[in-house]
């Protein structure tokens, strides 16, 4: 299917059915097979590259994005990403943006969906968002928790919030690999942006052994960490 109109004044169930057919027409079998190996636990996937998904979402956002987001959709990997990208691009107030972010986070079921969509407009609302982070960090859904730690990494590694970030990190003892890895990624990124605070935090040894090992590996792989700090963190494993 070609020539599908993405900028619409209205969206209905019939449009959504046609939209799914359009996405299917963009499928690349080779890319789908490649992605399936990297992204486990993904029951439905078209096989569409992320730049194409971003272009689709950008076009949808120019039209009646509200009706698009309100459509009842399935669990295809790419559809959830498009939903998130459209919602993240909306120029709206904090409360509406938070509702979009929560709705997206609740649909996450793999690391790729989680890490592809960032609500960058939230950067101007950090003073309010920090008060709502409990919803994400202490959620029963571990994918929402991973998304929450990603938000802390993206928005809160500053002098004002770094202590609260570390309080969140050490308060979550998850047995899920993808949560642990995001915690490690966050701490390693903090080591580059807030070196002294992060070294002090690591000296507390409050991370679980699994997260500590991942953090050391992430820091040692980083070009932004000094050889001296890499040598030091290796002693903490």
pTM of this structure? 0.94
Per-residue pLDDT at 95:
97
Location of each CATH 1.25.40 domain in the chain: 118-237
- Token pair listed for 203: 């000296």
Architecture of the 118-237 domain:
Alpha Horseshoe (1.25)
Cα separation of 235 and 137, whole Å? 29
141 secondary structure, DSSP code: S
Q: What is the 3-state secondary structure (H, E, C) of 61-114?
A: HCCCHHHHHHCCCCCCHHHHHHHHHHHHHCCCCHHHHHHHHHHHHCCCCCHHHH
Per-residue pLDDT at 1:
52
pLDDT digit of tens for each residue in the chain (237 aa)? 557 999 999 999 999 999 999 999 999 999 999 999 999 889 899 999 999 999 999 999 999 999 999 999 989 999 999 999 999 999 999 999 999 999 999 999 999 999 999 999 999 999 999 999 999 999 999 999 999 999 999 999 999 999 999 999 999 999 999 999 999 999 999 999 999 999 999 999 999 999 999 999 999 999 999 999 999 999 987
CA angle 144, 146, 152 (to 5 degrees): 105
Q: Are 85 and 117 in contact (CB under 8 A)?
A: yes
């Amino acid at each position: 299917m070609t020539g599908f109109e993405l900028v619409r004044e209205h969206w209905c169930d019939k449009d959504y059915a046609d939209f799914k057919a359009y996405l299917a027409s963009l499928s690349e079998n080779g890319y789908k097979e490649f992605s399936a190996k990297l992204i486990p636990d993904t029951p439905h996937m078209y096989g569409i590259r992320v730049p194409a998904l971003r272009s689709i979402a950008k076009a949808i956002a120019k039209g009646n994005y509200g009706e698009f987001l309100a459509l009842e959709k399935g669990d295809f990997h790419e559809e959830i990403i498009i939903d998130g990208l459209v919602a993240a691009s909306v120029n709206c107030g904090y409360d509406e943006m938070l509702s979009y972010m929560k709705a997206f986070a609740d649909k996450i079921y793999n690391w790729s969906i989680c890490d592809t969509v960032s609500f960058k407009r939230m950067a101007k609302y950090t003073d309010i968002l920090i008060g709502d982070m409990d919803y994400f960090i202490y959620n029963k859904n571990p994918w929402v928790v991973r998304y929450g730690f990603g938000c802390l990494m993206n928005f809160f590694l500053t002098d004002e919030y770094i202590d609260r970030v570390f309080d969140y990190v050490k308060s979550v003892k998850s047995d899920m690999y993808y949560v642990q890895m995001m915690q490690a990624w966050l701490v390693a990124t903090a080591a580059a942006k807030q070196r002294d605070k992060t070294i002090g935090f690591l000296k507390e040894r409050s991370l679980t052994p699994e997260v500590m090992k991942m953090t050391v590996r992430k820091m040692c792989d980083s070009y932004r960490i000094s050889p001296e700090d890499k040598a030091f963190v290796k002693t903490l494993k």
